[in-house]
Structure 1
Amino acid sequence: MRKLWLCILLWTGAAQAQVVPLPALRAQQVSVSGLSSGAYMAVQFEVAFSRTVIGAGIIAGGPYFCAQGSVFTATTTCSCNEELFSCRVRPGGTRVQNLIAITDWFAAMQTIDPTSALAGHRIWMFSGTLDSVVPQAVSNDLLTYYRHYIDANRIAYKRNLAAEHAMPTDSYGNACSVLGSPYINNCNYDAAGELLNWIYGPLAARSASLAGRFIAFDQSEFIALPTWHGMADVGYLYIPPSCESGGGCRLHVAFHGCQQSPDHIGAQFVRRAGYNAWADNNRLLILYPQTSATLANPKACWDWWAHDDTRYAQKQAARWRPSSAWWTA
């Protein structure tokens, strides 16, 4: 198979470990997932680098380039997250056909990968019926967006669980109907496992106790002065024992949501979102880039409305820097 450079910008800060450079480990397949702003980030990365990514898990997210560079649109049309203005979310409100046209234009200008590469992706989506931050109408628009490029049999959509806006797990967090920190809810539902099994599966059973290790890596290797750009100084990588020697493993990048940065909830997302238990028996590396708060972005959300870079959804964005630390074969 031909080698590709995995262009990814990484960042973080939160576990107590010696900070080291990100090690060079060979990854054969790359997938992404995320919650809320992390879901929007996962969609952005997937579409921009569609020739590198094989699939995505989107929890409480909306279509690519939904905000179109506007924080007002981001917080009133693509989500309900603005105290000063009423929520404007409605079915079809993100204007999916316009977003598809913009996507196609970016591809024609070669600022993102060709959209034809999306056809081979596997997509897993989740939207809780109680989600008050990214209501189901927004996620339904994402489904419409994906269906323009990807066959229905490659898309799974879970939307019948009475869950609020949070990462659903089957063993940790608030009650499923609660909206609040750490935005990880015990819904008796393993979203991380479901999305990994859809993208890569069927997988071997998850481990009862973790056998791998976490490393903290320096995110400034990928972006200068990370905190100036809303990125933490340190990021995290979970390495199962089977991947310690390097080649043959697969990489999954998990983007946390707003108010889930190290300063907000410590390492809870890294350790409790549910991904790591699936890594040990399935040769999966789990990468956790991390954000930090800024004056323009006090909730430490991922940049999906141009709070740091007007090219945030395209390959030229400052956040996407080629790195020889990761590659696929």
Structure 2
Amino acid sequence: MKRNWMTMKMSMVAAFAALAGHAATAAVPLPALGANAAEVSVSGLSAGGFMAVQLHVAYSATFKRGAGVVAGGPYYCAEGSIVNATGRCMTHYTSIPVSTLVSTTNSWASAGTIDPVSNLANSKVYLYSGTSDNTVVQAVMNDLKTYYQSFVPTANTFYKNNIGSGHAMITDDYGSSCSTTASPYINNCGFDLAGDILQYLYGTLSARNNGTLSGTFTEFNQAEFVSGHGMAATGWIYVPQSCSSTSCRVHVVLHGCKQNYTDIGDKYVRNTGYNRWADTNSIILIYPQTSTAATNSCFDWWGYDNANYAKKSGPQMAAIKAMVDRVTSGSTGGGSGGGSTLAAPTGVGTSGATSSSMVIGWNAVSGAASYNVYRSGSKVNASAVTGTTYTDTGLAASTTYSWSVTAVDPSNVEGAMSTAATGTTLAASGGGTTPVCYTASNYAHTTAGRATQTGGYTYAKGSNQNMGLWNTFVTTTLKQTGTNYYVIGTC
């Protein structure tokens, strides 16, 4: 059996390498590579650093090895507010309520909206802050260290804060001068930060490859994991050649604001130093990408896209988790507190549409204790679904939605997310509400009760669709499709 699996995996890697040759013209599907699910970690800079913390905390059963955070801050630091994000979480002009954030973390873990915090005790955390970084000042990173002390043993935390770097990812041989804070936000400080992060998270590693890389660097189809929500249609992955014959580790690398592929080309994915360490140490690197539709091309760490941005149901969070699930598909990595190896449910479909509800069905997954259902990236079931159907209610009439399903094992750990199924609700009939449209400023919509505002952004009442900034200058047309239910659109 082991030989058959290894032969199959070698074939998959070879096929992926062949497809990679066409990446310039068409992105390829992200492959199932049988990577080691017990050896997954994440790191990121700035917005990517905040996102790395979110993934590490919310999906602690997945990112078991831990996180590297460069110029980030405590989990849920912004608490859904752009004012908090740009204030206390960056300049520290007011104090960060670390104890409150710790309490929120514990509360959400108890509610199951994030993984159990007990998983964090077995992981490692690497923190970095430059002394010349005036964008995310060191006081914020100090608070992140304090936050982690509630969950991660001191012996498992390392904080480097004695290099005069600006707001940037730093290397030992590429980029702008060390104290600079300017695009592409990669600075040459004579220090190999990527290597230091990986060696701390994984222990002693083989020397990096300073020559030609042996593996395959490929653009993959990111849209199959998320459509919109500030994420690009494609991402990047580096697969070392050794992964054709061994079960590789996985490290997710998250760029900062104004650093996605559209903004700076391949500078971040090729020149930050990760690939040459991955090449000699059997580490698969996943580089998720935001789109320029995202605010400043940032990952969502304050709620610009979704109110559940920091939870497992956050659209960007769930998408990156699904990418890891795909790459580790077939893995037997586990251990105490290990991640689930449950397959993604198949046969997901919709039926029984009404003007306000839809039935979602799927095939049973062997070993599953229950299931979770996600609509457009947000979990909709309040309690565990033990059958293979779920009726989603409170929907808008004549509206198309997308649903995905995950299986949950007896330890309450989710498996891989299914492919999405779409369905359209029926038009409102005699008992429903005839659609009526209102065009007004976002401020006027909130005062009229058609929308709510959180953290400086406006959300349509009922559907919770993001309407943009909360002010008198942004104008939106809302369509009322039910009692106290509005969607962005026209009549």
Distance 1:155 1:19, change over 3 A: same
The answer to whether the aligner puts 1:303 opposite 2:300 as a matched pair is yes
Alignment match, 2:73: 62
Q: Which amino acid aligns with 1:266?
A: G
Alignment match, 2:326: 325
Aligned with 1:217 (options 220, 243, 263): 220
1: CA distance between counterparts of 2:98 and 2:295?
A: 29
Aligned with 1:72 (options 83, 87, 93): 83
Alignment match, 2:238: 238
2: CA distance between counterparts of 1:17 and 1:112?
A: 38
The answer to whether the aligner puts 1:278 opposite 2:277 as a matched pair is yes
Q: Which amino acid aligns with 1:188?
A: G
Alignment match, 2:93: 89
Spell out the pairing of 1:1-329 with structure 2 (5 A cutoff): 16=24, 18-28=26-36, 29-53=39-63, 54-80=65-91, 88-89=92-93, 93-209=95-211, 210-224=213-227, 228-245=228-245, 247-294=246-293, 297-319=294-316, 320-321=318-319, 322=322, 325-327=326-328, 328=331, 329=333
1: CA distance between counterparts of 2:277 and 2:68?
A: 15
Q: Which amino acid aligns with 1:32?
A: V
What SS does the corresponding residue of 1:220 show, helix, strand or coil? coil
1: CA distance between counterparts of 2:169 and 2:34?
A: 29
Q: Which amino acid aligns with 2:50?
A: Y
- On the 8 A contact 1:89/1:135 being kept in 2, the answer is no
1: CA distance between counterparts of 2:96 and 2:71?
A: 14
What SS does the corresponding residue of 2:327 show, helix, strand or coil? strand
- On the 8 A contact 2:295/2:304 being kept in 1, the answer is no
2: CA distance between counterparts of 1:165 and 1:217?
A: 29
Q: Which amino acid aligns with 1:219?
A: Q
Q: Which amino acid aligns with 1:27?
A: A
How many angstroms does 1:326 deviate by? 2.8
2: CA distance between counterparts of 1:52 and 1:287?
A: 14
| CA offset digits 1:246-296 (Å, max 9, x no partner) | x510000000000101121011000001100001110000110000122xx
- On the 8 A contact 1:89/1:137 being kept in 2, the answer is no
- On the 8 A contact 1:89/1:138 being kept in 2, the answer is no
What SS does the corresponding residue of 1:269 show, helix, strand or coil? helix
How many angstroms does 1:313 deviate by? 0.7
What SS does the corresponding residue of 2:34 show, helix, strand or coil? strand
Please list every run of 5 or more consecutive structure 1 residues that lacks an aligned counterpart in the other structure: 1-14, 81-87
2: CA distance between counterparts of 1:143 and 1:73?
A: 19
How many angstroms does 1:17 deviate by? 5.8
1: CA distance between counterparts of 2:60 and 2:287?
A: 20
2: CA distance between counterparts of 1:252 and 1:154?
A: 18
- On the 8 A contact 2:229/2:315 being kept in 1, the answer is no
- On the 8 A contact 1:17/1:216 being kept in 2, the answer is no
Distance 1:65 1:298, change over 3 A: closer
| CA-atom RMSD in angstroms | 1.4
Q: Which amino acid aligns with 2:234?
A: V
1: CA distance between counterparts of 2:112 and 2:295?
A: 33
2: CA distance between counterparts of 1:256 and 1:290?
A: 8
1: CA distance between counterparts of 2:26 and 2:285?
A: 18
How many angstroms does 1:196 deviate by? 0.1
Q: Which amino acid aligns with 2:122?
A: G
1: CA distance between counterparts of 2:298 and 2:313?
A: 20
What SS does the corresponding residue of 1:19 show, helix, strand or coil? coil
1: CA distance between counterparts of 2:79 and 2:140?
A: 15
2: CA distance between counterparts of 1:314 and 1:249?
A: 27
Q: Which amino acid aligns with 2:327?
A: W
Please list every run of 5 or more consecutive structure 2 residues that lacks an aligned counterpart in the other structure: 1-22, 334-491
- On the 8 A contact 2:290/2:297 being kept in 1, the answer is yes
What SS does the corresponding residue of 1:217 show, helix, strand or coil? strand
- On the 8 A contact 2:130/2:161 being kept in 1, the answer is yes
Q: Which amino acid aligns with 1:242?
A: S
What SS does the corresponding residue of 1:231 show, helix, strand or coil? coil
2: CA distance between counterparts of 1:256 and 1:151?
A: 27
2: CA distance between counterparts of 1:284 and 1:102?
A: 33
What SS does the corresponding residue of 1:325 show, helix, strand or coil? helix
What SS does the corresponding residue of 2:132 show, helix, strand or coil? coil
Q: Would you say how many aligned residue pairs link Structure 1 and Structure 2?
A: 300
How many angstroms does 1:57 deviate by? 0.4
Q: Which amino acid aligns with 1:223?
A: V
1: CA distance between counterparts of 2:84 and 2:143?
A: 15
| CA offset digits 1:22-64 (Å, max 9, x no partner) | 0111121100000000000000000011111121100001000
Q: Which amino acid aligns with 2:255?
A: H
Percentage identity across paired residues of the two chains? 47
